[in-house]
A and B are shown apart, each in its own frame.
Chain A
Amino acid sequence: MLSRVADSLYWMSRYLERAENTVRQLDVTMGLMLDTGATSLEERWKRLMQALGRPEDMEWNGDLEAMARELVFDSLNPLSVTFAVNGARENARQVREEISTEQWQRLNRLFHQMHSPHAQAQFRTSINDALASIIDGIHLFKGVSDTTMIHGQGWQFIRLGRYLERAYATATLLEVYQPHLQEHERDHSGYQYLEMVGVLRCCTSFEAYCQVYTADVSPDRILEFLLLNEDFPHAIRYTVDGMRDAVQAIQRTGGRRASDELISVIGRLQATLGYTTIGEILAGDTAALLHKIREECTRIHDLIYRYYVQYSIQSALAV
């Protein structure tokens, strides 16, 4: 597969994952804002910004609806959902011949949806419905991606992008919310419960959590679930396993170029998450671990580039 094409598929997928994450976090934050509790609206907005990884970008100005609208529709704001959808579509457009017609049509529809006056009007009447229909669009795209595209290298690059973006986003989210959850652990008012459920819902994982732990929600278990669960697609361990699968599949189908360093970076991260208990993690420095996961994600991204996209011609001819 052409390097440029792999690059575009990878970014298309990352952008869509990012769009989905932003929509969900906004939805949850706005839900939490309905309950008064101890946390001010401004504080909640700040956390949202931190969890999206760009704390400086949009300062709280008191007008929630306008800010939410900007976060969804302002195509010039790099944080916005529309910006991410545009990015995904622009990448898809450059590899139009590599993706299936169904994928293209789904993404194209989502793009037109983000830019239609109808979507903005819907946003005014029901923000929740508007956000839900965006998520629907993204889910449909993911569905047709899995069912209509050949599961070759291109598809693996899509998975790689999706998992990397998700691992990074989940680590950031936990880094932001973990201290607040731990701090109020003994608070048994209903607000604390809502808070914890909110974090789970940001990763669309409340129901999955209940199946594993029952509705007995605690900060430690949330951390355990979102970090170490092997079977839940939004848990970091699952995403790292997925990255390794994808890279190995890419190497199997291509074969000529060994990406040893990439495999070993992912493998080390896998080992950390696979052979550590939550007790050990909590006894140590949780924040540092989460930060380290983010750094490793960045490194994996760089290595993907070095092996598959921006290699030097000399190194390629030498093989």
Chain B
Amino acid sequence: MSAGHTEELETLFGDYPLDNAFDEMRESTGEVRPHYRALAEALAKLPQEELQRRKQSADLSFLTQGITFTVYGRDEGTERIFPYDLLPRLVTATEWDCIERGLTQRIMALNQFLKDVYSDAKILSDKVVPRDLVYSCKHYRRQMRGLQVPRNVYIAVVGSDLLRVGEGEYVVLEDNLRVPSGVSYMLTNRRVMKRTFPQLFHSYGVRPIEHYPQLLLATLRSLAPEGRPEPNIVLLTPGVFNSAYFEHTYLARQMGVDLVEGRDLVTHDNVVYMRTTDGLKRVDVIYRRVDDDFSDPLIFRSDSALGCAGLFNAYRAGNVTVTNAFGTGLADDKAVYAYVPKIIKYYLDEDPILPNVETYILSEEKERQHVLANLEKLVVKAVGESGGYGMLIGPKSTARQREEFARQIEANPRNYIAQPTLDFSRAPCLIGNHLEPRHVDLRPYVLFGDKVNIVPGGLTRVALEKGSLVVNSSQGGGSKDTWVLES
């Protein structure tokens, strides 16, 4: 840090607390970490008003781009911009290398696991993963048994959530193998940040992520049914009321493919068509952003109006590729998660590069007793839920909530897992006009077609509320741009 700016930096930091949690920007001594120094200096040099002006201009940019979500309840629906923090989160090249190798390994193994479970189920016969656990999973789809999936790719689009714990070690908190969202925020954050801190961005040497839509398109194209050299690729959305609708339109536009809803699709003789102004047009690849349950009323939930009747049969017949495949939620079940290190070892004969968070399986008698006795120290999660729902955070819970969870665990142990409360890392955020640390996670986006592709970056989610550990956007979380450095 250059001496001239220490004073400004002090004002900026204010009484920035440092404790057990790993701080992305500062060492425990308070020293700014080497790769954050240029950022700290740039911030110190900026007059307060200038920083606020940039913040406002970034706000405006999000608003006019329509990167908003809708707050329902009033006649016209009030729209708010997606909360974000102005300061980038920095990831060094070494860290990224580990993340990239770790996720590649993990995705390869999980994909093999899905293929195995839906065909010979060797891993179950070998008793590496308990049979009960798999067949009792809410997202197991028996319709997928014995079905040949194009190129054997079940999970083409993945977003895994990483945390940093201890001395900055990355661990995997969960895998999202169904319809992970948020990639549009990664891309638009970057666009806004490039405009907000142009010189800083340039001087840092940040690896680009903007080609994600092109990679996604290439991935989808590589999965097209045989004999369709010019495949018609579409993105299937639940529609304008879905909270991720902005993302669906964004990706469709960036890829130049049609955004379809269930009502645009019809099937005839096991072929899927879309209704166009020129009549019916055949569909070859569907990038599905609709949950399994709602995809085909003939096979899954019959009360769904979001999907397309006959879609699954067309898929089974090999006339259309649907990705991610159905039933992939099996492998991101929070109880199956506990077995991922064993799954990696089983298929790849390698040790996991990115470790798991220690997880208690509550259907195991011994582990359950331990958890019930220590509820106030642990985090309990329902296995099939996502988005931060169905969770008990022990240290922040009331006795009543703990009793309620204990009762539910006793009633249905398979439905829950428990993990220690993690002191995961915090990054500086601009709160008002000074910096405060907030908890962050990292969701990189993995594409898997011909090979595994991960754009260097991801969505850093921030628990914007002071002291909060919940980063989900549905629960008061925001985001940050993530800069993976060239060196």
Chain A residues near B (Cβ < 8 Å):
1-6, 75-76, 86, 90, 93-98, 101, 104-105, 108-109, 112, 115, 153, 157, 250, 254-257, 308-309, 311, 313, 316-317, 319
A230 to B258, CA, bound (A): 37
B63 touches A112 (CB 8 A): yes
| Given A101-B65, A108-B66: A75 in contact with B76 (beta carbons within 8 A) | yes
Closest-CB distance, B247 to chain A (whole angstroms): 10
Tell me the chain B residues, 220-241 only, with Cβ under 8 Å from chain A. 239-240
A3 to B278, CA, bound (A): 8
Q: A3-B264, A108-B64, A257-B277 known; 6 other A-B pairs, CB under 8 Å?
A: A2-B274, A2-B277, A95-B259, A97-B250, A109-B64, A317-B280
A255 to B276, CA, bound (A): 12
B76 touches A86 (CB 8 A): yes
- Render B253-265 as a binary contact track against A, CB cut-off 8 A, 1 for contact: 1000011110110
* B interface SS class: mixed
| Nearest-neighbor residue (CB-CB) of B280 within chain A | A316
A105 to B66, CA, bound (A): 7
9 contacting pairs across A/B (C-beta < 8 A)? A2-B264, A2-B276, A96-B253, A153-B277, A254-B277, A255-B278, A257-B277, A316-B280, A319-B279
| Given A96-B249, A97-B252, A316-B279: A76 in contact with B264 (beta carbons within 8 A) | no
Closest-CB distance, A57 to chain B (whole angstroms): 18
> For chains A and B in complex, what number of residue pairs have CB atoms within 8 angstroms?
84
A109 to B63, CA, bound (A): 9
Closest-CB distance, B413 to chain A (whole angstroms): 44
Chain B interface residue number, banded: 20 to 34
* A interface SS class: helix
Closest-CB distance, B296 to chain A (whole angstroms): 18
- Pick the contact of A105: B64, B248, B278 (CB < 8 A): B64
A111 to B297, CA, bound (A): 37
A257 to B281, CA, bound (A): 13
Most central of B63, B65, B239, B280 by chain A CB within 10 Å: B280
A2 to B264, CA, bound (A): 7
Q: Does B97 contact A (CB under 8 A)?
A: no
A174 to B143, CA, bound (A): 64
B279 touches A257 (CB 8 A): yes
B280 touches A313 (CB 8 A): yes
Most central of A86, A93, A97 by chain B CB within 10 Å: A97
Which residues of the other chain, B, contact A153 by a CB distance below 8 angstroms?
277
A223 to B390, CA, bound (A): 69
- Pick the contact of B240: A93, A104, A108 (CB < 8 A): A93
Which residues of the other chain, A, contact B264 by a CB distance below 8 angstroms?
2-4
